[in-house]
Amino acid sequence: MKISSRLTLGFGVLGLLIALMGGVSLLKVGVMSKMFNQVIDERMPLIAATNEVKGDLNAISIALRNTMMMRDADGIKKEVERVESARVRINASLASLSEQTTSDTGRAILARVAKARSQYDPMQAEVMGLVNAGSFFEARTLLMDKVAPAQEAYFDTLNGLLTHLDSQLNQSTSATQDAATSMKVVVVATLAIALVLAVLMAAWIIRSITGPLNQAVAVSRAVAAGDLSQQFEASGKSETALLLMALKDMQAHLSTVVSEVRDDAESVATASAEIAQGDLDLSARTESQASSLEQTSASMELLSANVKQNADNARKANELALNASSVAARGGDVVSQVVDTMKGINDASRRISDIISVIDGIAFQTNILALNA
């Protein structure tokens, strides 16, 4: 695998892990957002509506009490209007509660609230009628004997509804906190896994790159030091594998070149040895020629001595010839001896000429051999 592919794979895995962590985080955030929205959009409005009903019911109770103490028609009218406004708001709040409550427990509690209200509203209307009729004593008696207990039962059902809504709110809050804790755990776990995988991927990439590079450096140093016997394997299609293959080819080529140079050096050494042996042979032949030349020189000296002797003989023969005239009488034998002696001298002169020619040839060859040496 090429280095670029390894890096792409490593960063791709990291990107995938980051995307996975982001997706899980978004999912958890979505769940938490839904829970918060449920708390804000469902639980809190129900609690607020229930508290509004209680507040309006308290307002009605206060208005009824005020009418018991007032004798001013305008004041009583204002309190009656306040009661009617509170009743309208209570109707709207209870309608909203009935519409938004979906649990069976909540609907059962709302049913009890509606029942308590159905018992309270007629008596509260009866009190208002007595007040409008000016029967304050009867109105006060009805308020204390019947309306107050019905109102208390009404409040109890509303408090029960608030308890139920508070329980649901606490459950939603706990679920939201659990979701937040779960999200933290998931994010931390995903981050830890991502870090571990990132470290492993980094170690794998670094080892896969630096390992072959260190091997290539070691081989290059060995080749630079003259060691061409390094054995290593090079396989794959990565840049480092291609580098090792190139180094292996270079090492093989250098080994071939060194072998050829070694063979050529051995050939040169053999030729040099042969040349040295030839020089030794030439030296021996030169010494032999020098010895022959010395022998020839000795022969020349001997020949020179013979020539001198022959010259002496010739002088003696000349003297004999000069004396021959005086001794001509000695006869033809002496003349014949002289003639024979002259022939010998002539033959000796020819031999001397041949010997001189041979000496010249030997001297010429000696010069040539000296030049060659």
Q: Is the pLDDT of residue 372 over 80?
A: no
Is residue 260 in a domain? no
Burial class of residue 277, CB neighbours in 10 A (0-12, 13-18, 19+):
exposed
Is residue 271 in a domain? no
Q: Is the pLDDT of residue 307 over 70?
A: no
Q: Please report the pLDDT score of residue 149 as a whole number.
A: 92
Is residue 223 in a domain? no
Are residues 24 and 121 both part of a single domain? yes
Q: Which of 15-24, 150-159, 274-283 has the lowest mean pLDDT?
A: 274-283
Burial class of residue 112, CB neighbours in 10 A (0-12, 13-18, 19+):
middle
Burial class of residue 63, CB neighbours in 10 A (0-12, 13-18, 19+):
buried
Burial 73-88 (b: 16+ CB within 10 A, else e): eeebeebbebbeebbe
The residue with tokens 């995938």 is: 16
- CATH code where residue 84 lies: 1.20.120.1730
Sequence-distant (6+) residues with CB within 8 A of 130 are 136, 138, 139, 142
* Paired tokens of 212: 């072959």
d(CA 55, CA 89) in angstroms, rounded, equals: 10
d(CA 116, CA 120) in angstroms, rounded, equals: 6
Chosen domain end from 172, 195, 215: 215
Q: Which among 44, 47, 65 has a CA at the least distance from the CA of 128?
A: 65
Q: Is the pLDDT of residue 310 over 70?
A: no
Are residues 209 and 80 both part of a single domain? yes
Q: Is the pLDDT of residue 322 over 80?
A: no
Is residue 148 in a domain? yes
- Higher pLDDT residue, 129 or 222? 129
Q: Tell me, what amino acid is at 14? A: L
- The stretch 308-334 carries a mean pLDDT of 59
DSSP symbol at 103 = S
Are residues 160 and 302 both part of a single domain? no
Is residue 178 in a domain? yes
Is residue 250 in a domain? no
Q: Specify the 3-state DSSP secondary structure of 70.
A: coil
Question: Phi/psi of residue 234, each to 5°?
Answer: -135, 115
- Do 35 and 179 meet the contact criterion of CB atoms below 8 Å apart? yes
Domain membership of residue 204 as a residue range:
3-215
The residue with tokens 């794979």 is: 9
Dmax (CA) for the chain in angstroms is 234
Are residues 21 and 137 both part of a single domain? yes
* Paired tokens of 307: 């020539």
pLDDT digits (tens, 9 = 90+) for 116-146: 888 988 988 888 888 888 888 888 889 888 9
Are residues 31 and 173 both part of a single domain? yes
pLDDT digits (tens, 9 = 90+) for 59-114: 988 988 888 777 777 888 888 889 889 889 988 888 888 888 888 888 898 889 88
- The stretch 39-54 carries a mean pLDDT of 80
- The stretch 9-27 carries a mean pLDDT of 79
pLDDT digits (tens, 9 = 90+) for 249-270: 776 777 777 677 777 767 767 8
Q: Which of 30-39, 136-145, 226-235, 307-316 has the lowest mean pLDDT?
A: 307-316
Is residue 257 in a domain? no
Are residues 161 and 304 both part of a single domain? no
Is residue 305 in a domain? yes
Q: Please report the pLDDT score of residue 156 as a whole number.
A: 92
Are residues 193 and 338 both part of a single domain? no
DSSP symbol at 286 = H
Q: Which among 185, 170, 174, 171 has a CA at the least distance from the CA of 28?
A: 185
- Do 212 and 243 meet the contact criterion of CB atoms below 8 Å apart? yes
Chosen domain end from 184, 215, 246: 215
Query: Structurally, how many domains does the chain consist of?
Result: 2
How large is the angle between the packed helices 148-224 and 3-38, nearest 10 degrees? 170
d(CA 303, CA 322) in angstroms, rounded, equals: 27
- Do 104 and 141 meet the contact criterion of CB atoms below 8 Å apart? no
Chosen domain end from 181, 215, 249: 215
* Paired tokens of 275: 């040349």
* Paired tokens of 191: 């981050």
Q: Is the pLDDT of residue 317 over 80?
A: no
Are residues 87 and 178 both part of a single domain? yes
